[in-house]
């Protein structure tokens, strides 16, 4: 690594949560930057990032952090991107690439673009990777491996900048797609936003029951419920912002979901066994495809059973 020129001379990471700190670790382990500058507003988080040795320099002030950086990554809740862009815009270096990792792209584009100066390449991005944990301790270098990152370059974006950012994500282990922001937001509404909202909702419903105690829900959760709690343990600020900023696509998906659920509910009420069997059969194929595409582990029960997890790990899967 040492004798190879890094991809970027200086990367400024604005925000150092799960994604930011995973990026810091990946950049370090792959030697992708001459210098990593870590910025976050909360003093406690910045101190923790320093303890973890995530960067080469630590800044509380975003304008200081971005000075002289040839890559700036916003890894903050999407609702905060506009204000941060307004703050750092005048301090961005000519020729720098400005990107983000937000789960919605339409509002990020409209919030951030007005503050991007001439000569800075703004190329929004979204790595489709994560866990239910947040904060600088939660990150790990292999988070992006085998996952997809979607870039949504605006019309007329510099092809060289797109190529360089693609190279960066590829070096982090990710596969890269490009699409327009609206399509991104519609795709994510179904594959990510709706599942999280449904998960939050069902956990809330269970928590409210009078006839079934909380301790019963917890004891017997292995029968299905616990799978939803992983998503429902995700960062509330991030998900509030996602709901607010991808409202239209989410409402459309919620409408379709509720319509389908009403139909399923009717089949249950009227005892339509054939319809239920058909509905419960077609969905198996989807899971097989996900496993074949390498986006899921094929261990039963996600390999939760210690015995199976151990065998899998020894096999090197």
DSSP H or E run through 14: strand 8-14
Give the contact letters, 255-294, x = binds to a second copy (CB under 8 A), - = no.
-xxx-xxx-xx-xxx-x-x--xx-xxxxxx-xxxxx--x-
Q: Could you count the other beta carbons within 10 Å of the beta carbon of residue 38?
A: 26
Q: Does 296 bind a second copy (CB under 8 A)?
A: yes
Query: First-to-last CA distance in the chain?
Result: 27
Determine, following the binding rule CB under 8 A, whether residue 302 of this chain makes contact with a second copy: yes
Q: Are 101 and 126 in contact (CB under 8 A)?
A: yes
- The region of 57-65, 94-102, 108-116, 129-137 touching a second copy under the rule CB under 8 A is 129-137
Tell me the closest approach of the beta carbon of residue 54 to a second copy, in angstroms: 17
Give yes or no for residue 25 binding a second copy (CB under 8 A): no
Residues 146-175 that bind a second copy (CB under 8 A): 147-148, 150
Nearer to a second copy, 58 or 257 (CB): 257
| Residue 14 interacts with a second copy (CB under 8 A): yes or no | no
313 binds a second copy (CB under 8 A): yes
Closer to a second copy by Cβ: residue 162 or 299: 299
* Own/partner long-range contacts of 217-220 (Cβ < 8 Å, ≥24 apart): none
77 to 106, contacts with a second copy by CB under 8 A?
A: 103
For residue 31, the minimal CB distance to a second copy (Å) is 19
**200 contacts a second copy (rule: CB under 8 A):** yes
The answer to whether the beta carbons of residues 99 and 120 sit under 8 Å apart is no
Find the angle CA(101)-CA(104)-CA(106) to the nearest 5 degrees: 115
Specify whether the CB–CB gap between 235 and 75 falls below 8 A: no
Q: Is 52 in the site for a second copy (CB under 8 A)?
A: no
Q: Which of 132, 160, 163, 170 binds a second copy (CB under 8 A)?
A: 132
Say whether residue 116 binds a second copy (CB under 8 A). Answer: no
56-75 residues in contact with a second copy (CB under 8 A) are none
- Distance, in Å, from the CA atom of 25 to the CA atom of 20, rounded to the nearest integer, reads 9
Q: Looking at 49, 54, 123, 206, which residue binds a second copy (CB under 8 A)?
A: 206
Say how far apart CA 34 and CA 11 lie, in whole Å: 8
- Residues 212 to 251: which contact a second copy by CB under 8 A? 212, 214, 216-234, 236-237, 239-240, 243-244, 247, 250-251
CA–CA distance, 245 with 199 (Å, rounded to integer):
19
Beta bridge partners of 150: 126, 177
- The distance of closest approach from Cβ of residue 119 to a second copy in the complex, given in angstroms and rounded to an integer, is 32
Angstrom distance (rounded) from CA 71 to CA 311: 41
Candidates 60, 95, 163, 304; binder of a second copy (CB under 8 A) is 304
In angstroms, what is the minimal distance from the CB of 77 to a second copy? 11
Name which of 91 and 147 has its Cβ closer to a second copy: 147
Q: Which residues are paired to 275 by β-bridges?
A: none
Burial class (CB in 10 A: 0-12, 13-18, 19+), 68: middle
What interhelical angle do 247-269 and 194-207 show, nearest 10?
60
Tokens standing for residue 96:
């720098």
Give the residue with the Cβ less far from a second copy, 1 or 283: 283
């Amino acid at each position: 690594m040492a004798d190879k020129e890094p991809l970027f001379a200086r990367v400024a990471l604005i925000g150092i949560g799960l994604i930011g700190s995973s990026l810091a670790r990946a950049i370090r382990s792959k030697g992708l930057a001459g210098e990593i500058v870590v910025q976050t507003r909360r003093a406690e988080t910045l101190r923790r990032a320093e303890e973890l040795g995530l960067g080469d320099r630590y800044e509380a002030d975003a304008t200081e952090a971005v000075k002289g950086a040839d890559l700036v990554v916003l890894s903050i809740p999407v609702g905060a991107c506009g204000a941060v862009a307004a703050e750092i815009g005048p301090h961005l270096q000519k020729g720098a690439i400005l990107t983000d990792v937000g789960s919605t792209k339409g509002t990020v584009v409209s919030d951030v673009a007005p503050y991007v100066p001439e000569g800075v390449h703004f190329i929004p991005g979204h790595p489709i990777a994560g866990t239910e944990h947040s904060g600088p301790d939660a990150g790990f270098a292999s988070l992006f491996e085998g996952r997809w990152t979607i870039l949504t370059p605006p019309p007329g974006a510099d092809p060289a900048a797109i190529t360089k950012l693609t190279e960066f994500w590829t070096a982090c282990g990710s596969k890269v797609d490009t699409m327009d922001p609206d399509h991104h937001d519609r795709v994510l509404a179904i594959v990510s936003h709706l599942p999280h909202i449904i998960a939050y909702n069902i956990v809330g419903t269970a928590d409210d029951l009078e006839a079934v105690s909380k301790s019963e829900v917890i004891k017997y959760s292995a029968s299905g419920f616990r799978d939803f709690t992983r998503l429902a343990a995700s960062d509330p600020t991030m998900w509030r912002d996602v709901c607010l900023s991808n409202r239209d696509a989410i409402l459309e998906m919620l409408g379709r979901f509720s319509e389908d659920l009403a139909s399923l509910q009717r089949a249950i009420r009227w005892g339509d066994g054939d319809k239920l069997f058909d509905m419960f059969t077609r969905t198996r194929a989807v899971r097989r495809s996900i496993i074949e595409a390498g986006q899921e582990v094929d261990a039963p029960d996600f390999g939760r059973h210690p015995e199976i997890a151990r065998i899998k790990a020894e096999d090197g899967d």
